[in-house]
Structure 1
Amino acid sequence: MAVLSAKHALDTAVEAARWAPSIHNTQPWAFSISREEISLRADTDRKLRVGDASGRELLIGCGAALFTMRTAMRCEGFEPEVRILPDPDRPSLLATLRPGVEVPPDESIKVLGRQIERRRTHRAGFADVQVPDALIERLARAAMEEGARLTPVRSPRAVKVIAALTQAAQGVQAQDQRFSLELIRWAQPPGSSRTDGVPAEGYPRQAMRTDPDFPQRDYSWQHDWGSQADQRAATSVGVVALLTTPGDGRQEWIDAGQALQHVLLYAAAYGVSAAFHTQALEMGLLREFLRCELCSGQYPQMIMRLGVTFDDKDSVRRPLSEVMA
């Protein structure tokens, strides 16, 4: 029975990992199961060659998938044994995971597990509903447990600076045809049957401006795509937060992804969603300015806004047959 349970835990973990967040929903991961062990590999064919030349965002997405597998395995009653970057000669092998000792899941783990398929990325403003400070503090502790730091930006002036950096990066990228073509590669047209990328219903055709304005990715670039949902009642910025790490290597990028997913699942359990703004982090000079001026020397890995939305968008994920190597 224990062998059968371990096999079920492995299968459940991989099934759950498909629902992790990734830049433009590229889903840049591949899995294999051998000898009761899952191998997580980077699918470099799905890397953004222009916006993510270093692979930082790819590894953050894979780190989120790793935390999702850890959570799913714990929900199945096993403490996962994880090795990160186990083989320097195989750089695409990011982690291995196997069921360890049997441990009944506590309620906190079950809470996270129930959000794996429910969590959604938001791509517009938020409703004018305050996110409790106590929840933000708990999210910060969740990030810390994974080796990262989540810092809410409380100063209105600092929020304006981050919004301005996002606007600047968005403006520069919009003038670069390479960025635009790479972006629309992952933007689905209405009625698309694709199982990756961002569905047309998943972003607004024309997003309402927040104050200060945090521009969204222009997935409808030169197309009449996107949701026509009324966004007039959802223009709040929400809580702006920075996810940072003390270093900036492959290990830290994976740590950031695990921290990100821990934060997102916990927030989702309390009805809070996240909108991501990585434009400024894709431009070296702006990212370094942010690190020096607003991150106390820590490396910014994600800019996000946290808030409440009453939209319930669908998401798409590739079937297991496409992510199993």
Structure 2
Amino acid sequence: MSPASTPRAATGVNAVAGALSPALRVVDLARRAPSIRNSQPWGWSVDGTTIHLYADWDRWRRRDDPAGRHLLISCGLALHHAEVAARGLGWEAVVSRFPHRDGARHDLVARLDLVPSFSSPDGAAELTALTQRRTDRRRFTSWPVPEELVQDLCASAGARGGLAVSLPDVVDRFRVEHLVGLAQRLGGGAPVESAGGPRWLAGTGTSVEVHDGLVVLCSQADDPESWTTVGESLGALWLTAVRRGLAVVPLSQVIEIEDTRQSLRSSVLGGLVLPQLLVRVGWQPIGHTGLPRTSRRSLESVTRPRPPTTGPGGARPGTGPGPSGP
């Protein structure tokens, strides 16, 4: 093990990965993070060893996400992946979340200051999982996922400050399956395809299978900080699943539709917490070929300097119309 070398100031994006500054290498890896509908709604700026993560409201899908919940969950995933990348490259990322807490500005999601640290086998394994991770929507096998393994995934999410609730109970799972099907019917019946790829939604109401591990990512509040934490927690759960050989499929539509979200909260979660995302976990068949990586915005496009932006019409979630809480 050896401490990371002293970083150079980043003056621009070099096409040769080995010539990138450490901070740009972190951003280059972090842009592999998953996002709702592959929207990749983030931007980065780099100044020496300091990285700023911005929410890119120009990529906000306001009709489907009026509160900006899923945009900030996606930014939380990117933040988590940046921290994993830093660790894997021999750095520690000291993170300040939402440094501008004025109640309205959610453009600057986080500041990361890279501090030289020591490489470790666990950090290297996490980085390997980051590079191997894919969203695999192919049908899971009928092999059951042991509850203790699901609890291990929930614990990894909890370590990031989130609340992950496993649903092993047959009655709860039946209710969730019903709500997933109802959400699909209310939302138009079929998975939505867009230029950015399919939404996080399995194809039918029967997508919650009896052998799946089923987790609800929750929070106590409905605010930008909570949504970002949910994204970080999902990132931790996902990479832990990759390291255990499991596939993960988030389902968002049951949360996007307020009626099914409230039913999930009251009938499954006892009204105690706010559901933010539903996650299926399962095994892919042995011998399944790997999936190609989905397209990503280039490093140049996500690190281009830009002023803070607002949502369409000048509104931001929390300041404009649209539900922001239960």
TM-score where L is the length of structure 1: 0.80
2:206 corresponds to: 213
Displacement of 1:68: 0.4
Over residues 43-68 of structure 1, what are the superposed CA-to-partner deviations in whole Å (9 max), with x where a residue is unaligned? 11211221111110010010000000
Contact 1:86-1:93 within 8 A present in 2 as well: yes
For 2:97 and 2:201, the matched residues in 1 are separated by: 34
In 2, distance between residues paired with 1:134 and 1:168?
30
2:212·2:281 contact (CA, 8 Å) conserved in 1? yes
Corresponding letter in the other structure for 1:302 = L
The amino acid across from 1:313 in the alignment is L
CA contact (8 A) 1:84 1:95 kept: yes
Percentage identity across paired residues of the two chains: 27
Cα deviation for residue 5 of structure 1 reads: 9.9
- For 2:219 and 2:36, how far apart are their aligned partners in 1? 19
Q: Is the 8 A contact 1:126 1:236 kept in 2?
A: no
Q: CA shift at 1:275, angstroms?
A: 1.3
Match of 2:33 in 1: 20
Residue 313 of structure 1, CA deviation: 1.8
1:132-167: CA deviations, max 9, x gaps?
333222211111111112222111221111111111
Report if the CA contact (8 A) 2:7-2:22 is conserved. no
Confirm whether residue 9 of structure 1 aligns to residue 19 of structure 2: no
Give, in angstroms, the shift of residue 107 of structure 1: 2.2
Aligned equivalents of 2:148 and 2:42: distance in 1?
Answer: 34
C-alpha contact (below 8 Å) 1:79/1:103 kept by paired residues: yes
Judging changes above 3 Å, is the alpha-carbon distance between structure 1 residues 122 and 236 closer, same or farther for their aligned structure 2 residues? farther
Partner of 2:194: 185
CA distance in 2, matches of 1:303, 1:203: 10
Cα distance per residue 1:185-244 (max 9 Å; x no partner): 33xxxxxxxxx4349xx999xx6x6xx7028xxxxxxxxxxxxxxxxxxx7651111111
Q: How do 1:255-270 and structure 2 match up within 5 A?
A: 255-270=229-244
Match of 1:299 among 264, 274, 286: 274
Q: What is residue 56 of structure 2 aligned with on the other side?
A: 43
- Contact 1:237/1:305, CA 8 A, preserved across alignment: no
* 2:320 counterpart residue number: none
Residue 311 of structure 1: how far off its partner (Å): 4.9
* Residues 103-129 of structure 1 deviation map (CA, whole Å, 9 limit, x = unaligned): 213322222110112111122420122
**Aligned letter for 1:131?**
V
Structure 1: distance between partners of 2:25 and 2:269: 37
**Correspondence list, 1:136-155, <5 A:** 136-155=150-169
Note if contact 2:9-2:49 (Cα within 8 Å) is conserved in structure 1: no
Gaps of 5+ in 1: 187-195, 216-234
Q: SS of the counterpart of 1:291?
A: helix
Q: Separation in 1 of the partners of 2:119 and 2:84?
A: 10
* C-alpha separation in 1, matches of 2:186 and 2:58: 25
Report if aligned partners of 1:125, 1:236 keep a CA contact under 8 Å in 2. no
Cα deviation for residue 307 of structure 1 reads 0.5
Note the aligned Cα RMSD (angstroms): 2.6
Q: Does 1:318 align with 2:297?
A: yes
Question: Which shows bigger deviation, 15-24 or 280-289?
Answer: 280-289
**Aligned residue for 1:252?**
226
SS in 2 for 1:2: coil
**8 Å contact from structure 2 (residues 45, 53) kept in 1:** yes
Query: Is 1:238 aligned to 2:212, yes or no?
Result: yes
| Contact 2:147/2:213 (8 A) holds in 1 | no
Whole-Å Cα distance in 1 between the matches of residues 95 and 279 of structure 2?
28
CA distance in structure 1 between the aligned counterparts of 2:300 and 2:198, rounded to whole angstroms: 20
> Could you say which residue in structure 2 is the equivalent of 1:191?
none
1:165 matched residue in structure 2? 179
Aligned position for 2:256: 282
